[in-house]
Structure 1
């Protein structure tokens, strides 16, 4: 009986850990876009997730985020900005540029095709 209880507790902890790992909010890196000649850009490396997971842009300056694909995982082969209506296949080229509107302040969430890995763009 005691062995069954210990096994059950272990299984519950394992399931909780898996749920936290895949669906929980984790601290993420942040980067500011670089501005050159009235245009700003940043690069997000796609390798086991998004790095950095948060990109900060300046309001009113046209912006491009370059997604650099370094992962062959099917889940990460697409990036989706649902608020912008963007759904891009990242396997077509090594670096995929995506234009981000910066006319108003706000946040744009993005995710992989399976909605397991997340990031966001903050326009300030």
Structure 2
């Protein structure tokens, strides 16, 4: 065997080893791609119904929110009407009631003063003509 034949034999062996490594890598890559395809298919089979259910849930929630918005606007109208009614009642009956209460207070106070002695005056001196004799003068 000559040097060229040995070199050719070595190159052929290296090519055989390289091809076997590449074929093993390609087989494993094909297995990985099959597994990934199965995974994506499984996820798709489970995700599509979940997305449908989520879409129905969102539609239902939107319908409920629309109802709540309607109720809130009705409550706001009722509150505005109650406020207007309260203002009307206060303006209609408030003034006369205050006058009646003030009159009643004045009558009670006058009746209390009528039967009671006058309250003592503290800290104020009366003119000499209105002073009462105390016995010390």
In the superposition, the TM-score normalised over structure 2's length comes to 0.23
Structure whose alpha-carbon radius of gyration is higher: 2
Which structure has the highest strand share of the two?
1
- Give the number of the structure with larger relative contact order, counting CA–CA contacts within 8 Å between residues 6 or more apart: 1
Q: Which structure is higher in helix share?
A: 2
